[in-house]
Amino acid sequence: MRERRGLVGHETDNPYYEGKKYPEPTVCERCGLFYRDGHWQHPPEDLPEGVHRALCPACRREKDRYPGGLLYLGGTYLVEKREEILNLVRNQEEEARGQRPLQRILWIKDQGDELEIATTTPHLAMRLGRAIHSAHKGDLEIKPLEDEYMVRLFWRRDLKEA
Ligand SMILES: [Zn+2]
């Protein structure tokens, strides 16, 4: 493994950095995304000959099970509104993915009164956390981790006792 330079990892030292350069054109051997003109995009109908193969940053995170963002949801309100909140999460993911295909949800772990949502990018976790917060209120706490390429968010809301 390559040594990290400096005290705080610069983004170019980040093995999952979305702006990392690949030879053009490259196709992701796992999800089929296509790298050209400096970014990952949906593939053309016919792949050109001699296309390079690699893992895109999102698939690399998926394979390593190393998310860029973790969002924890909890509270009695969540139990009540679970489906509504999960729909919001899926719609937000779809929209984000339409804009930048590297933004994906890696997993949703359902632990009854708590949900853990892992995303490929810190940006997507922030987007989901903020969307839930703005639609459902509650408390949102954001904890970026220094020298790690990820962010953690904690959201919870409890129903008031009757
Ligand atoms: Zn991929």
Ligand 1 centre to CA of 101 (Å) is: 9
Q: How many distinct helices (H) and strands (E) make up the chain?
A: 3, 9
Q: How far is the CA of 15 from the centre of ligand 1 (A)?
A: 14
Expressed in angstroms and rounded, the spacing between residue 135 Cα and the centre of ligand 1 is 31
The model's pTM: 0.85
pLDDT digit string, tens, across residues 44-94: 999 889 999 999 999 999 999 999 999 999 999 999 999 999 999 999 999
Q: For all residues of the chain together, what is the average pLDDT?
A: 89
Distance CA 138, CA 33 (A): 37
Q: Give the pLDDT mean for 96-114.
A: 93
